[in-house]
Chain A
């Protein structure tokens, strides 16, 4: 699924030899035009989406300009909108999520690609794929009833006792907040990191491993010092992919972040994220400026994920080609 390999579709060998009229009679031209219309509608829809986000936020963009990203007052009553707390919340939760998910995900990918026998690896990959299919609202449900109490009663007091001198782990343990949202995000993005990194690691040529082993390195040294660096760019790609998912994630974050626009050094503090504020306030927003400010947040989110996804694809393609010359991702 969703691979980036594309061979140029073979233009029909017979196409050149027949006249336009005979192709029309055969229905070839009609079929081509009809399918072209459907393909073009995909482009049209995407363009409309971008234009809609751009025009839909025009009022807010003109009124606030760059201050939209610098101020932190979000006050629908006085029609003043500053997005800083939401941007902060989105970035912090994504960082926490990745900090937890990256080591775990890459570790698991190494196991699946380097150690596990083919059959075991494929079976585990099947489970990982299923995990990726779990909808975010289910993660939110588990977040509300399991992760939040766990954080409030055990993890946050524990962190406070051990690392309380750091500003990161101070303040009352509410359960909801940046840290909890980060943990839930980590669980959600791990499958993406594992799947893509595993593919990339598998595409590293065998002789790289054999050469390292022949030089007397241990199994781990050949993996960590030869195979992983070889696949480095692709693994970075998987991380960007996960980051894009984490930034855009809505439901699970909305349910556990606390929905309070605050900027605080403490990870225990409740916060808010871009996607969460859109989800909570969009359907109740009254007044053009309010709606347009929310759409501008959507535009920010769109641009962020657009850039990250593009980068990720590029990196993954580059590694895959360098590895096997087959682009097997």
Chain B
């Protein structure tokens, strides 16, 4: 009996240690990725990377200025498209909707959220590229904006729900109409949470590559307009990583470091905004 108890205790200790090992391995992956990117990317990052156009094939040097600006343009347009739909739709869900309409909208949003990004790309291609017969910044931004909608929508709804009822009632009791209550009491009370959600949505689509492959395409020069194909950091990383040139690999690492750095900073910032005081004042 005693031996059996010892055995059971040994199994317990061993298995619990193993779960710790699993955790350590999983978290170590993050630091490994970060470390490797800093090690490889840090060595190849320089001023040219941020200010120069890509060098012609076969020459070394050059940078990714056009891709950095392209990514910024894509994200700007994507938020202009995705955030209003998500934000106002979220207000509808939280404040106005009955249960049946609400169910349909939530269902659609969850469905959209689960669609693989490459399929979003096909959809954006059919809607924004085929009719105009050329790839464009608009098409890429449309694809990215689509992916921002469900995240913004569901989070807005959730944070609005967490605003205490007493705040609404107080405002209504003062004679404010419902939309005035929403606009000047409920939304301001939940703004931290909503901004966090928008930042997280931005960070998520900033690294998306697949939906851009056949919408924004890529470009080795400055994009000559919103209606033209544009380079973007994720697509540049992809094309440079699978190309056979060492100098391109070096730049892919640098671009990877810049992209991941931005995404992680935005993520941490978003969480910090949320953590600095709760999303809504506790009643």
Q: Interface of A with B (CB < 8 Å)?
A: 1-3, 5-15, 23, 26-28, 30-32, 34-36, 38-43, 45-49, 52-53, 56, 103-108, 110-112, 114-116, 124, 126-131, 133-138, 140-142, 144-146, 187, 190-191, 194, 218-221, 223-224, 244, 247-251, 255, 275, 278-279, 282-283, 294-295, 298, 301-302, 305-306, 309, 313
Whether A115 and B118, one on each chain, are in contact in the complex, defined by CB atoms closer than 8 angstroms, is no
Whether A298 and B122, one on each chain, are in contact in the complex, defined by CB atoms closer than 8 angstroms, is yes
A5 to B106, CA, bound (A): 11
Known: A136-B209, A305-B116. A255 touches B242 (CB 8 A): yes
Whether A35 and B89, one on each chain, are in contact in the complex, defined by CB atoms closer than 8 angstroms, is yes
B112 cross-chain contacts in A, Cβ below 8 A = 42, 45-46, 49
Interface residues as binary, B164-176 with A (CB distance below 8 Å gives 1, 0 otherwise):
0100010010000
A43 to B22, CA, bound (A): 41
Known: A9-B97, A49-B123. A42 touches B105 (CB 8 A): yes
Interface residues as binary, B13-45 with A (CB distance below 8 Å gives 1, 0 otherwise):
101101111110111011001001100100000
B149 cross-chain contacts in A, Cβ below 8 A = 42, 45
Whether B234 and A137, one on each chain, are in contact in the complex, defined by CB atoms closer than 8 angstroms, is yes
Whether A27 and B161, one on each chain, are in contact in the complex, defined by CB atoms closer than 8 angstroms, is no
Known: A53-B122, A275-B118. A282 touches B214 (CB 8 A): yes
Whether A35 and B209, one on each chain, are in contact in the complex, defined by CB atoms closer than 8 angstroms, is no
Interface residues as binary, B124-162 with A (CB distance below 8 Å gives 1, 0 otherwise):
011100000000000000000010011101110110010
- Give the segment of B49-57, B62-70, B72-80, B259-267 that binds chain A: B259-267
Residue of A nearest to B169 (CB): A13
13 extra interface residue pairs, beta carbon distance < 8 Å, beyond A38-B84, A140-B237:
A2-B154, A7-B161, A9-B97, A31-B96, A39-B92, A43-B108, A46-B111, A112-B23, A130-B267, A135-B207, A137-B238, A141-B256, A194-B26
Residue of B nearest to A101 (CB): B26
B104 CB within 8 Å of chain A? yes
Whether A38 and B151, one on each chain, are in contact in the complex, defined by CB atoms closer than 8 angstroms, is no
Interface centre among A110, A141, A295, A306 (most CB of B within 10 A): A141
Contact of B92 among A36, A46, A110, A224 (CB under 8 A): A36
Whether A224 and B15, one on each chain, are in contact in the complex, defined by CB atoms closer than 8 angstroms, is yes
Contact of B179 among A6, A10, A26, A144 (CB under 8 A): A26
Whether B26 and A35, one on each chain, are in contact in the complex, defined by CB atoms closer than 8 angstroms, is no
Residue of B nearest to A30 (CB): B179
Known: A107-B22, A133-B267. A34 touches B88 (CB 8 A): yes
- B95 CB, nearest partner CB in chain A, Å: 6
- A51 CB, nearest partner CB in chain B, Å: 10
Residue of B nearest to A35 (CB): B92
B109 CB within 8 Å of chain A? yes
B89 cross-chain contacts in A, Cβ below 8 A = 35, 38-39, 41-42
A279 to B121, CA, bound (A): 9
Closest 10 CB pairs of A and B: A135-B207, A248-B116, A107-B22, A26-B177, A31-B179, A35-B92, A220-B12, A218-B12, A111-B19, A309-B114
A47 to B127, CA, bound (A): 13
Q: Which applies to chain A's interface (DSSP): helix, strand, loop or mixed? A: helix
- B251 CB, nearest partner CB in chain A, Å: 11
Contact of B12 among A2, A56, A133, A219 (CB under 8 A): A219
Whether B241 and A278, one on each chain, are in contact in the complex, defined by CB atoms closer than 8 angstroms, is no
Contact of B180 among A7, A27, A133, A301 (CB under 8 A): A27
Whether B213 and A279, one on each chain, are in contact in the complex, defined by CB atoms closer than 8 angstroms, is yes
- A14 CB, nearest partner CB in chain B, Å: 6
Residues of chain B in range 201-238 having any CB-CB distance to chain A below 8 Å? 203-204, 206-210, 213-214, 217, 234, 237-238
A103 to B25, CA, bound (A): 12
Interface centre among B118, B180, B204, B234 (most CB of A within 10 A): B118
Whether A298 and B264, one on each chain, are in contact in the complex, defined by CB atoms closer than 8 angstroms, is no
Residue of A nearest to B89 (CB): A39
A47 to B84, CA, bound (A): 19
Whether B96 and A187, one on each chain, are in contact in the complex, defined by CB atoms closer than 8 angstroms, is no
Residue of B nearest to A57 (CB): B122
